[in-house]
Chains A and B, each alone.
Chain A
Amino acid sequence: MINSLFLISHSGDIFLEKHWKSVISRSVCDYFLEAKEKAGDPENVAPVLQTPHHYLISIYRGKLFFLSVTQTEVPPLFVIEFLHRVADTFQDYFGDCSEVVIKENTVTVYELLEEMLDNGFPLATESNVLKEMIRPPTILRSVVNTLTGGSNVGGTLPTGQLSNVPWRRAGVKYTNNEAYFDVIEEIDAILDKSGTTVFAEIQGVVEACVKLTGMPDLTLSFMNPRLLDDVSFHPCVRFKRWESERVLSFIPPDGNFRLMSYHVSSQNLVAIPVYVKQNISFLETGSCGRLDITIGPKQTMGKSVENLTVTIPMPKSVLSVNLTATQGTYTFDLTTKVVLWDVGKLNPQKLPNLRGSISIQTGSPKPEENPSINIGLQIQQLAISAGLKVSRLDMYGEKYKPFKGVKYVTKAGKFQVRT
Chain B
Amino acid sequence: MTTMQRLLQLPVNAVNIVKTVQSQVQGHEEDKSPVLSPDSGQQTWYSALQPDELRHLRSGGTGGGGGGGGGGGGGGDQEERGSQEDGGGGGSFQSQPLRHDDLKEMLDSNKDSLKLEAMKRIVAMIARGKNASDLFPAVVKNVACKNIEVKKLVYVYLVRYAEEQQDLALLSISTFQRGLKDPNQLIRASALRVLSSIRVTIIVPIMMLAIKEAASDMSPYVRKTAAHAIPKLYSLDPEQKDQLIEVIEKLLADKTTLVAGSVVMAFEEVCPERIDLIHKNYRKLCNLLIDVEEWGQVVIINMLTRYARTQFLNPNINESLLEEGGGADKTFYGSDEDEDEDEEEKEKKAEAAAMAKRKPYVMDPDHRLLLRNTKPLLQSRNAAVVMAVAQLYFHLAPKAEVGVIAKALVRLLRSHSEVQYVVLQNVATMTIKRRGMFEPYLKSFYIRSTDPTQIKILKLEVLTNLANETNISTILREFQTYIKSMDKDFVAATIQAIGRCATNIGEVRDTCLNGLVQLLSNRDELVVAESVVVIKKLLQMQPEKHSDIIKHMAKLTDNIQVPMARASILWLIGEYCEHVPKIAPDVLRKMAKSFTNEEDIVKLQILNLAAKLYLTNSKQTKLLTQYVLNLAKYDQNYDIRDRARFIRQLIVPTEKSGALSKYAKKLFLALKPAPVLESPFKDRDHFQLGSLSHLLNAKAGGYQELPDWPESAPDPSVRNVEVKESVPEWTKCSSREKRKEKKVEKPFYSDSEGESGPTESADSESDSASGSESGSEGSGSASESEESGGVSVSEEEEEEEEEEKKTKKRELKKAVQESESEQSSEEEDRKHERKMKQQKSDSESESDEEEESESESSQSESDDSESEAEVRKKKKAAESKPPSKPAKRETTKEKKEMSLLDLDDFEPAPSPQVTPVNNLFSNSLVTDLEGLSLSEAVLLPATITPSSALKSYELLHRITGEGLSVEYCFSRQPFSPDANMVAVQMQFTNSSASDTKSLHMEDVKLQSGMRVKEFPEIELLPAGETATAVMGIDFCDSTQAANFQLCTHTRKFFVSIQPPVGELMRPVFLTENEFKKEQGQLMGMNEITEKLTLDAKCRNEHAIVQRVTTAANLSRVPCGSDKECSPPVPPPEHPVHRFAGRTVTSGSLVLVTVATREEGAAQLTINCEKMVIGTMLVKDILLALTQ
Contacts and interface: CB of A to CB of B under 8 A. Distances in A.
Contacts of A401: 759
B704 interface: yes
B13 to A, nearest CB: 29
Instruction: Identify whether the interface residues of B are mostly helix, strand, loop, or mixed.
Output: helix
Interface in B1046-1099: 1081
Contact of B800 (A111, A188, A243): A243
Nearest to B184: A157
Interface stretch (A21-29, A298-306, A320-328): A21-29
A344 interface: no
A418 interface: yes
B740 A240 contact: yes
Interface stretch (B110-118, B317-325, B917-925, B1143-1151): B110-118
A292 interface: no
Nearest to B155: A114
Given A365-B523, A372-B450, A238 B740 contact: yes
B698 A50 contact: yes
A392 B767 contact: yes
Contact of B46 (A103, A245, A368): A103
Contacts of B68: none
Given A118-B228, A367-B486, A394-B754, A219 B747 contact: yes
A78 interface: yes
Interface string A356-378: 00000000010111011010000
A162 B221 contact: yes
A263 B411 CA distance: 8
Given A162-B185, A239-B379, A245 B295 contact: no
Given A119-B231, A231-B379, A240-B744, A199 B443 contact: yes
A153 interface: yes
B485 interface: yes
A166 interface: yes
Interface string A148-184: 1111010101100110001000000000000000000
B1111 to A, nearest CB: 30
A414 B448 contact: yes
A84 B417 CA distance: 11
A76 interface: yes
Contacts of A229: 407
Contacts of A74: 692
B127 A233 contact: no
B228 A119 contact: yes
A111 B747 contact: no
Contacts of B116: 149-151
B235 interface: yes
B390 to A, nearest CB: 10
A125 B294 CA distance: 10
Nearest to B46: A103
B777 A244 contact: yes
Contact of A118 (B193, B290, B691, B777): B193
B295 A416 contact: no
A285 interface: no
A267 interface: yes
A81 B293 CA distance: 14
B421 A374 contact: no
B714 interface: no
Which of B45, B298, B422, B1081 gathers most chain A CB within 10 Å? B422
A279 interface: no
B484 A368 contact: yes
A346 interface: no
B374 to A, nearest CB: 12
B924 to A, nearest CB: 25
Contacts of A371: 449, 486
B700 A44 contact: no
Given A41-B452, A43-B417, A74-B692, A81 B384 contact: yes
A148 B112 CA distance: 10
Contacts of A63: none
Interface in A379-419: 391-392, 394, 396, 401, 414, 416, 418
B422 A80 contact: yes
Contacts of B443: 198-199
Contact of B376 (A77, A106, A223, A243): A243
B711 interface: no
Which of A17, A107, A365 gathers most chain B CB within 10 Å? A107
Interface in A96-134: 100, 103-107, 109-111, 114, 118-119, 121-123, 125
A349 interface: no
Given A162-B185, A221-B770, A104 B387 contact: no
Nearest to A413: B414
Contacts of B691: 73, 75-76
Contact of A368 (B129, B486, B766): B486
**What are the nearest 5 A-B pairs in CB distance?**
A149-B113, A72-B702, A244-B781, A73-B703, A43-B452
11 contacts: A47-B418, A72-B702, A80-B416, A110-B123, A110-B124, A121-B265, A157-B184, A161-B186, A162-B221, A244-B777, A391-B767
Interface of B: 39, 42-43, 45-46, 111-114, 116-117, 120, 123-124, 126-129, 148-149, 152-153, 155-156, 160, 163, 184-187, 193, 196-197, 199, 219-221, 225, 228-229, 231-232, 235, 258, 262, 265, 290, 293-295, 298, 302, 376, 379-384, 386-388, 407-408, 410-411, 414, 416-419, 421-423, 443-444, 446, 448-450, 452-454, 478, 481, 484-486, 522-524, 690-693, 695-696, 698, 700-704, 740, 743-744, 746-747, 750-751, 754, 759-760, 763, 766-767, 770, 774, 777-778, 781, 800, 1081
Interface of A: 1, 14-19, 21-23, 26, 41, 43-44, 46-48, 50, 55, 58-61, 70-78, 80-82, 84, 100, 103-107, 109-111, 114, 118-119, 121-123, 125, 146, 148-151, 153, 155, 157-158, 161-162, 166, 188, 190, 192, 198-199, 201, 203, 219, 221, 223, 229-235, 238-247, 249, 258, 261, 263, 267, 313, 315-316, 365, 367-369, 371-372, 374, 391-392, 394, 396, 401, 414, 416, 418
